[in-house]
Structure 1
């Protein structure tokens, strides 16, 4: 059984690392592979890290604010995914609805996991 780091600072660093990894993974997925297909249609997914960054800045990067920021990023990812599913279903895009749904849920899940980790920092008194 693995344990999370015991100090609030270590927990914050772990949560931040997961959040940054999620953003990097999203950027890699958009740049290298594409989510919706060729072209600039994946740009809608960039709203998630941008919205999260705005909320993080406004809340001063405090653990509770970071949890909120990553929650916003997760919801933004789902909204982008819904838009993309509509695009794939109605347009001549070379992507499958199942792939778009799966990738959207994966990225939203990563953001949600990072948000949960930040709630654990807050619970420990940081």
Structure 2
């Protein structure tokens, strides 16, 4: 059996229908005291967003492509430990907002809440 450890790219994303994509970059956004923001998909055409909403139970994360972001314009809804993946044109701005699920009012995250984003080519 061949050892492929050093022959394949270190960060390959194969969950998108079997099409491997090399990871081009990423970032982590702390939600400590923050309820909304955005990031731009640069250097790639696919992103994967995972959210860790540990501190404040029951937060809902809205993700979309329109500013201002609202429940009706959100493309995705996520809760703790959800993952979102989407193919978008390079340069797309992705908006996110943490909200209280009872009234959908903006709600800042806590000390250990964060969003992790990976961008794939």
TM-score, normalising length from structure 2? 0.30
The structure that is strand-richer by fraction is: 2
Higher relative contact order (CA 8 A, sep 6+): 2
The structure that is helix-richer by fraction is: 1
